[in-house]
């Protein structure tokens, strides 16, 4: 069984059909890129998977359970974590406190009250900050970070609590070429314990880090397969040429 399976997803907003039978299947430890032209429904599909939007029709399964109608909160507890285009960093808090809050939000009340949490939480915060090359500025306010560092902090926060699936919607938007390269480096080790669905417009970036790709066009899947399969697809080449 795949880790995540979204099938027949329809999402209607008033008169507009944003998703028209879209599907996405992601395996364990798989990095999956979701690409397609502006307005093709990528963010809406991510939201239907995360529970931020309810699909009009269709089914989302995660770790062998039907989660289609579950709240984002319950999905998060089941091991799904997301970072959307809008920031969730609290700028006046330190990096340390931002990650600590993210961790605490995912720990159960039992853990917080009874376990040897303080030391354990401290270790986890520092580990996450080190992993994302932010440990040197752990006690600076998040507002002092560069745009790229702020995105890395958000990814670190989304990974706090060890999710099985991370959803990232355009994490490299507004980054420099060097920041994009570093983002790829920082994400690669995540594959050991977590799958990823990533929406990106930068095709070089997505080719570098993803195992499989799904291409959306007007709310439907145009193609889904390994990176070489998608690169060889005539219909995919056409939509990207049409855009150029």
Interaction site with Mg ion (CB under 5 A): 43
Please select the residue that binds ligand ATP; options are 42, 75, 180, 212, rule is CB under 6 A: 42
Please select the residue that binds ligand ATP; options are 22, 23, 43, 212, rule is CB under 6 A: 43
The site string for ligand ATP over 46-65 (x = CB under 6 A, - otherwise) reads: --------------------
* Beta carbon of residue 209, minimum distance to ligand ATP (angstroms, whole number): 19
Coil, strand or helix: which one is 18?
strand
Query: Under the phi-then-psi rule, with left for phi > 0, alpha for psi from -120 to 50, and beta for the rest, what region is 135?
Result: alpha
13 binds ligand ATP (CB under 6 A): yes
Task: Using the minimum distance from each CB to ligand ATP, give the nearer residue, 173 or 189.
Answer: 173
Please select the residue that binds ligand ATP; options are 15, 38, 114, 244, rule is CB under 6 A: 38
Task: Using the minimum distance from each CB to ligand ATP, give the nearer residue, 1 or 16.
Answer: 16
Query: Under the phi-then-psi rule, with left for phi > 0, alpha for psi from -120 to 50, and beta for the rest, what region is 80?
Result: beta
Task: Using the minimum distance from each CB to Mg ion, give the nearer residue, 30 or 170.
Answer: 170
**CA gap 216, 7 in Å, rounded:** 14
**CA gap 80, 97 in Å, rounded:** 22
**CA gap 150, 137 in Å, rounded:** 12
Q: Considering only CA atoms, give the Rg of the chain.
A: 18
Task: Using the minimum distance from each CB to Mg ion, give the nearer residue, 77 or 220.
Answer: 220
Other Cβ atoms less than 10 A from the Cβ of 187: the count is: 23
172 binds ligand ATP (CB under 6 A): no
Other Cβ atoms less than 10 A from the Cβ of 142: the count is: 23
**From 31-39, 151-159, 184-192, 205-213, span contacting ligand ATP (CB under 6 A):** 31-39
**From 39-47, 60-68, 136-144, 182-190, span contacting ligand ATP (CB under 6 A):** 39-47
* Beta carbon of residue 182, minimum distance to ligand ATP (angstroms, whole number): 23
Residue 198 has φ and ψ, to the nearest 5°, of: -130, 130
Task: Using the minimum distance from each CB to ligand ATP, give the nearer residue, 43 or 124.
Answer: 43
Cβ-proximal residues to 22 (8 Å cutoff; 6+ apart), any chain: 6, 9, 10, 41, 45, 58, 216, 219, 220, 221
Please give the residue ranges that form the binding site for ligand ATP (CB under 6 A).
13, 16, 18, 36, 38-44
């Amino acid at each position: 069984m795949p880790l995540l399976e979204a099938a027949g997803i329809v999402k209607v907003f008033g008169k507009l059909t944003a998703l028209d039978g879209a599907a996405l299947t992601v395996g364990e430890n798989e990095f999956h890129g979701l690409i397609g032209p502006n307005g093709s429904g990528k963010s809406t599909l991510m939201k239907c998977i995360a529970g931020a939007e309810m699909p009009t029709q269709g089914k989302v399964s995660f770790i062998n359970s039907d989660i289609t109608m579950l709240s984002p909160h319950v999905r998060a507890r089941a091991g799904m974590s997301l970072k959307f285009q809008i920031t969730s960093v609290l700028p006046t808090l330190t990096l340390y406190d931002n990650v600590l809050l993210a961790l605490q939000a995912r720990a159960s009340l039992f853990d917080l009250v009874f376990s040897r949490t303080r030391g354990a939480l401290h270790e986890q915060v520092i580990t996450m900050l080190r992993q994302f090359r932010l440990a040197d500025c752990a006690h600076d306010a998040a507002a002092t970070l560069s745009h790229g560092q702020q995105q890395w902090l958000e990814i670190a926060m989304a990974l706090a609590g060890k999710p099985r699936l991370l959803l990232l919607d355009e994490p490299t938007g507004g980054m420099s070429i060097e920041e994009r390269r570093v983002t790829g480096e920082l994400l690669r080790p995540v594959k050991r314990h977590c799958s990823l669905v990533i929406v990106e417009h930068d095709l070089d970036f997505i080719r570098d880090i993803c195992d499989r790709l799904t291409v959306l066009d007007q709310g439907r899947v145009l193609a889904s397969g390994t990176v070489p399969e998608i690169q060889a697809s005539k219909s995919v080449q056409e939509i990207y040429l049409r855009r150029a």
